[in-house]
Amino acid sequence: MKLYELSLSEGRNVSPFVWRARFCLAHKGLEAERIPISYHDKDQLVFSGQDRVPVLVDGDMVVSDSWKIACYLEEAYPERPSLFGSAAGQGTGLMINKFCDHVLLGSMFLLCTPGTYDVTQDEDKPYFAQSRWEWTGMTIEDIRSMEAEALKRVRSSLEPIRQTLAEQAFLSGDTPAFTDYCVMGGFMWARTTYAPQVLEPDDPVEAWRQRMLDLFDGMGRKTLSLEA
């Protein structure tokens, strides 16, 4: 198996979508060779018919999009630990995936984009700034000036997650599964691009985040991060 992933300066793995895929692979006990891609060499992804990572190659199968990768792994490796638990769990997983994309990552975007720019290779900085300006009408410095508001928005968007984690160890219940990996992708983006603490130390989300960092032999904890 091969996993094409975003790799910024010093090999930093910032992509929340790639982190979702890496956690899903680890949950299934599968290993993939990791192929680093930067913004300037996305032509390496042409074979996948699109230009985003993650892309998983498993034999003849080419799967792009983190949600499709999770569904592919669940279907192709049913004998391994389930990511969703049931068909109903998979249905709810899609809703969580959309919540993460639109609400959680929407607020994380403002917090993590300036730091992502800072760790982007110099040759890619103009592309990165221009593409974000086209999406939002804001320069990187405009976005950087919104840090305090962004932090408030992230903390507030986490309220349903916070209340869930006050009652159970993981979002999926007693043990982690897809929902946890999907949300954790956002926190891995923050860990690799935003130095201050996103969460208060007594926030139940912070205790969960620490548990998530310990999973799979500390996979998330070991990555090059900006956290103290």
Ligand X SMILES: N[C@@H](CCC(=O)N[C@@H](CS)C(=O)NCC(=O)O)C(=O)O
Binding residues for ligand X, rule: CB under 6 A, are 6, 15, 17, 39, 52-54, 65-67, 131
- Note the residue count of the chain: 228
Q: What type of residue is 96? A: I
Give 67 or 170: the residue with its C-beta nearer to ligand X: 67
Give 6 or 158: the residue with its C-beta nearer to ligand X: 6
DSSP calls for 27-89 = HTT---EEEEE-GGGGGGGGGGTSS-S-EEEETTEEEESHHHHHHHHHHH-TTSPPSSSSHHH
Of 224, 185, 215, 216, which is closest to residue 54 (Cα–Cα)? 185
CB of 203 to ligand X, least distance (A): 25
Measured CA to CA, the distance from residue 35 to residue 110 in angstroms comes to 28
CB of 115 to ligand X, least distance (A): 13
Token look-up 């790799």 returns 7
Give start and end residues of each alpha helix (H) in the chain. 16-27, 66-76, 87-99, 105-119, 125-136, 140-144, 147-157, 159-165, 178-193, 204-222
Give 80 or 102: the residue with its C-beta nearer to ligand X: 102
Write the Ramachandran bin of 60: left for phi over 0, alpha for psi from -120 to 50, otherwise beta.
alpha
CB of 103 to ligand X, least distance (A): 15
CB of 6 to ligand X, least distance (A): 5
Give 52 or 211: the residue with its C-beta nearer to ligand X: 52
Give 51 or 206: the residue with its C-beta nearer to ligand X: 51
Q: What type of residue is 99? A: F
CB of 112 to ligand X, least distance (A): 10
CB of 131 to ligand X, least distance (A): 6
Give 203 or 225: the residue with its C-beta nearer to ligand X: 225
